[in-house]
Amino acid sequence: MRLFVSSMLIVGTLAVAMVASAQMSSTNYEIRNDSISTGGEDTSSSASYLLRDTLGNTSIGQSTSTSYDLRSGYRQGIFDQVLSFDLFAQNKGTARAATGLAGTTITTSTASISVGDFILLVQDEGSSQVLGLGEVASIGVGTITLDTLKDDGVTPVIDGTDDFVYIMNSSSVDLGELDPAEFSSRIVGFNVNADLDGGYTVQCLKMTT
């Protein structure tokens, strides 16, 4: 899992598939697994099921030891690539003071916070604020521990002065009525889970006016 923070400021004969197998490929194609068989469907599906079947495969299955992993049969090579993208925004109504930070453990009120919530940590809230974002892994007495704390290059330092914690559970960004004399910001974060051969790239734009 990778977390990112973006700030909006005002303003991937027998078929044998092995861990280190040799695939047939060229600049135009790739055959991950091949098999001599009599038929079958690559994918059969309906609203309630998904079936992949092959007729005529023999000696299929998985065999392992301390030094090898053998996966024989065409369907052993199936790999469903998965990509999910979740977007969430700072909920200003969930603000509570942050009074300490040790590693990924934040000292703060745990009211309305649950394991799995995404949390925004703000140091010195305002025009020079420093941000951190993470997912709650556990909750203690007056503390929350994140799985990781992602920042924008500068790690927050929490001393209890103008430092806050927010729950990232809003689905919209509301900057309110704009005033040139006042600073206003809303933080947007996203979480990407991917299991892809070629990896992925996320691009974001930071807007400041």
How far apart CA 19 and CA 37 sit, in angstroms, is 22
pLDDT (0 to 100) of residue 122: 95
User: pLDDT value at position 189?
Assistant: 87
Judged by DSSP in three states, 29 sits in: coil
The answer to whether residues 12 and 26 touch, using CB atoms and an 8 Å cutoff, is no
C-alpha span between 58 and 13 (Å, rounded): 9
Distance (Å, whole) CA 24 – CA 15: 13
- DSSP codes, 112-178: T--TT-EEEEEES-STT-EEEEEEEEEE-SSEEEES--EESSS-----SSS-EEEE--BSS----S-
Q: How many CB atoms lie within 10 A of CB 5?
A: 19
Q: What is the pLDDT along the chain (209 residues), one digit of tens a residue?
A: 455 444 443 333 333 334 444 566 778 777 666 655 566 666 677 888 777 776 666 666 777 888 877 776 666 666 667 788 888 899 989 999 999 999 999 999 999 999 999 999 999 998 899 999 999 999 999 999 999 999 988 999 999 999 999 999 988 877 777 777 777 788 888 888 887 777 788 777 665 55
pLDDT of amino acid 171: 81
Q: Which of 133, 46, 129, 148 is nearest to 88 (CA)?
A: 133
Output the pLDDT for position 80: 66
| Cα 178 → chain centroid | 33
pLDDT at residue 157, rounded to an integer? 95
pLDDT at 209: 52
pLDDT at 180 (0 to 100): 79
pLDDT at res. 142: 96
The whole-number pLDDT of residue 103 equals 94
d(CA 4, CA 134): 9
Q: Is the pTM of this model over 0.95?
A: no
